[in-house]
């Protein structure tokens, strides 16, 4: 598929995304008996932002994949409609703030693809990204600026700005992980002995896993959040497995995290409470289990086709319904069909991203794309698993849909990096066939 065909397909899909956003906004206004007098302003703003993003890809990424950006924007459109619908008493403040943040995120997307001409240049600054990522990850633990919201210390407040620094930290750490593993993967993959079917590297090579585990425990203990801790540790261990093809890293990483979480649940009350609520939220329905039980009620009420936009009561979840529980609102008002549609969009985004990793031209690009795809996919599983009681509830946001500027900003930077690799790989395919990632000997055992 030529670059022009991809861009034309992208333009068509972006028009469909804008149509979904505008139609949903209008329907939500009708269902809530609210005036739709801002529909024209909203429609013009959304279309203008979509056009800016599309024109930027035509100029800077002519050969990039044509599906990634439309998938992200259609999910964002659904999220915007639900945020508007969930705003109490018709106050459009949250929806307008989300639209402003979308403008900032599109600006960051354009700036990233304009400045980063080749993602391989980022590998030279991997240790700078490591420091930045760790600082951003631990920033909420600092006094004065750190803020605790809904029991989790994930927020930082600096003047009028309130944000989650871990959202940007995940990108910085993925860049570091990709650079570190591309440089050391052969050394980390060498197996000196065997344990059954598993090849085991030297003990000292487990040092990076131990370091990542230690940081994840610090996050879990100090920030009172199991989700963020699991997200960052899971990203690193998954990338380490991809780089070395040694399942022992996955097995040991999982064992270490389970052991750390079990110990923390016995030593720290907030971790213990999260586990208790997860096991039986109905026992604590009048207290800490209220939101999870209301989320389950909302999903059950939606049935197959949903109650209709503006006709459900997801607001009974309270507090974090437009952030942590926005998937529950989607499931109630658009039903099982709407929930499956959203999950399909996330699955397509993940499939496209992992497919891109196989076509990247060098080890750093392959690992970077794989890490970014893992970050989006794992974060989606964590939050949807939490609101459906599959796993303990986490404090992470649902990518592209949840309310929050830091989440939108980081995820559109992530898309920009993915599309930069996509464009570079497509252009290189005209010159030479792709090379395979040179995995270590031993069949990956």
| 357-370 confidence digits (pLDDT tens) | 999 989 999 999 99
In a domain? residue 315: yes
In a domain? residue 333: yes
pLDDT, position 202: 66
pLDDT(91) > 60: no
For residue 191, the cross-strand partners are 201
What's the mean pLDDT in 286-312? 90
pLDDT(86) > 90: no
What strands, in cross-sheet order, belong to the sheet with 152-158?
A: 146-149, 152-158, 161-163
What's the mean pLDDT in 389-412? 88
224 contact partners, CB below 8 Å, separation of at least 6? 148, 151, 152, 153, 270, 271
What is the CA angle 214-217-223, rounded to 5? 135
> Residue 35: pLDDT band by 50, 70, 90 thresholds?
low
Q: How many whole angstroms separate alpha carbon 213 and alpha carbon 209?
A: 6
What is the CA angle 113-370-244, rounded to 5? 135
In a domain? residue 141: yes
In a domain? residue 31: yes
The SS3 call for residue 127 is: helix
pLDDT, position 331: 94
Q: What are phi and psi of 155, to 5 degrees?
A: -110, 150
Q: How many whole angstroms separate alpha carbon 99 and alpha carbon 200?
A: 50
For residue 161, the cross-strand partners are 158
348 contact partners, CB below 8 Å, separation of at least 6? 67, 71
Mean predicted lDDT score pLDDT of the chain: 84
Q: What beta strand segments (E) does 12-151 contain? A: 146-149
Of 408 and 261, the structure prediction assigns the larger pLDDT to: 408
In a domain? residue 434: no
To the nearest 10 degrees (0 to 180), the angle between helices 39-60 and 3-31 is 160
The percent of residues in the chain predicted with pLDDT above 90, rounded, is 42
Poorest-confidence range of 8-22, 77-91, 99-113, 276-290? 77-91
Whether residue 146 contacts residue 179, with contact meaning beta carbons closer than 8 Å, is answered with: no
Poorest-confidence range of 138-142, 170-174, 397-401, 422-426? 138-142
pLDDT, position 442: 43
- 420 vs 64, 68, 365, 377, 441, CA distance in Å? 7, 11, 10, 19, 31
What's the mean pLDDT in 388-413? 89
Of 140 and 440, the structure prediction assigns the larger pLDDT to: 140
pLDDT, position 431: 63
To the nearest 10 degrees (0 to 180), the angle between helices 68-86 and 3-31 is 10
Q: How many whole angstroms separate alpha carbon 371 and alpha carbon 162?
A: 27
In a domain? residue 134: yes
Of 66 and 30, the structure prediction assigns the larger pLDDT to: 66
- Classify residue 62 as left (phi > 0), alpha (psi -120 to 50) or beta: alpha
- Classify residue 388 as left (phi > 0), alpha (psi -120 to 50) or beta: alpha
Q: Of 279, 200, 340, 319, nearest to 327 (Cα)?
A: 340
Model pTM? 0.90
CB atoms within 10 A of CB 419: 24
Q: How many whole angstroms separate alpha carbon 260 and alpha carbon 258?
A: 5
Q: How many whole angstroms separate alpha carbon 388 and alpha carbon 391?
A: 8
Q: How many whole angstroms separate alpha carbon 94 and alpha carbon 179?
A: 38
Poorest-confidence range of 105-114, 282-291, 349-358, 425-434? 425-434
> Residue 204: pLDDT band by 50, 70, 90 thresholds?
low
239 contact partners, CB below 8 Å, separation of at least 6? 174, 177, 178, 181, 367, 370, 371, 374
Q: How many whole angstroms separate alpha carbon 409 and alpha carbon 405?
A: 6
Q: Where are the alpha helices (DSSP H) in 268-362?
A: 269-279, 290-302, 326-359
Of 254 and 411, the structure prediction assigns the larger pLDDT to: 411
281 contact partners, CB below 8 Å, separation of at least 6? 289, 292, 293, 296, 389
> Residue 33: pLDDT band by 50, 70, 90 thresholds?
low
In a domain? residue 440: no
pLDDT, position 137: 85
> Residue 445: pLDDT band by 50, 70, 90 thresholds?
very low
Q: What are phi and psi of 128, to 5 degrees?
A: -65, -40
pLDDT(302) > 50: yes
User: Which pair of structure tokens corresponds to residue 355?
Assistant: 């497919």
What's the mean pLDDT in 415-443? 71
The number of domains in the chain is: 1
Q: How many whole angstroms separate alpha carbon 78 and alpha carbon 91?
A: 18
pLDDT, position 219: 76
Of 8 and 432, the structure prediction assigns the larger pLDDT to: 8
User: Which pair of structure tokens corresponds to residue 97?
Assistant: 């703030």
Domain that holds residue 363: 3-429
For residue 157, the cross-strand partners are 162
In a domain? residue 425: yes
pLDDT(160) > 80: no
Q: How many whole angstroms separate alpha carbon 341 and alpha carbon 333?
A: 13
pLDDT, position 95: 82
């Amino acid at each position: 598929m030529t670059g022009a065909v991809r861009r034309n397909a992208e333009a068509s899909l972006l028009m469909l995304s804008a149509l979904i956003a505008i139609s949903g906004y209008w329907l939500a206004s009708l269902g809530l008996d609210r005036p739709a007098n801002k529909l024209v302003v909203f429609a013009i703003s959304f279309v203008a932002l979509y056009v800016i993003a599309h024109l930027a890809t035509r100029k800077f990424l002519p050969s990039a994949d044509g599906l990634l950006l439309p998938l992200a924007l259609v999910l964002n459109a659904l999220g915007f409609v639900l945020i508007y619908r969930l705003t109490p008493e018709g106050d459009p403040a949250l929806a307008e703030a989300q639209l402003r943040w979308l403008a900032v995120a599109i600006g960051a997307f354009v700036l990233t693809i304009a400045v980063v001409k080749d993602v391989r240049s980022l590998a030279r600054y991997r240790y700078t990204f490591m420091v930045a990522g760790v600082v951003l990850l631990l920033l909420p633990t600092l006094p004065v600026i750190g803020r605790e919201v809904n029991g989790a210390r994930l927020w930082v407040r600096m003047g009028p700005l309130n944000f989650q620094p871990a959202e940007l930290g995940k990108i910085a750490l993925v860049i570091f992980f990709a650079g570190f593993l591309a440089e050391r993967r052969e050394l980390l993959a060498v197996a000196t002995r065997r344990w059954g079917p598993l090849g085991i590297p030297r003990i000292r090579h487990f040092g990076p896993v131990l370091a990542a585990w230690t940081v994840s425990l610090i996050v879990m203990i100090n920030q009172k959040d199991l989700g963020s801790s699991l997200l960052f540790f899971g990203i690193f261990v998954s990338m380490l497995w991809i780089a070395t093809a040694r399942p022992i890293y996955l097995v040991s990483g999982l064992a270490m995290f389970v052991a750390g979480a079990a110990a923390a649940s016995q030593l720290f009350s907030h971790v213990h409470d999260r586990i208790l609520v997860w096991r039986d939220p109905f026992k604590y329905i009048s207290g800490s289990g209220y939101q999870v039980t209301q989320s389950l009620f909302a999903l059950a009420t939606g049935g197959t086709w949903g109650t209709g936009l503006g006709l459900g009561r997801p607001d009974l979840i309270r507090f974090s319904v437009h952030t942590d529980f926005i998937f529950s609102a989607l499931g109630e008002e658009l039903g099982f069909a709407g929930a499956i549609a959203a999950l399909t969009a996330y699955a397509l985004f993940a499939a496209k991203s992992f497919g891109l990793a196989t076509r990247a031209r060098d080890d750093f690009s392959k690992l970077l794309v794989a890490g970014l795809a893992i970050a989006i996919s794992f974060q989606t599983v964590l939050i949807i698993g939490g609101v459906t009681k599959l796993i303990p509830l986490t404090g992470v946001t649902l990518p592209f849909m949840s309310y929050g500027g830091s989440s939108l900003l980081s995820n559109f930077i992530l898309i920009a990096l993915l599309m930069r690799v996509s464009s570079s790989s497509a252009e290189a395919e005209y010159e030479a066939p792709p090379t395979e990632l040179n995995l270590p000997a031993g069949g990956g055992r």
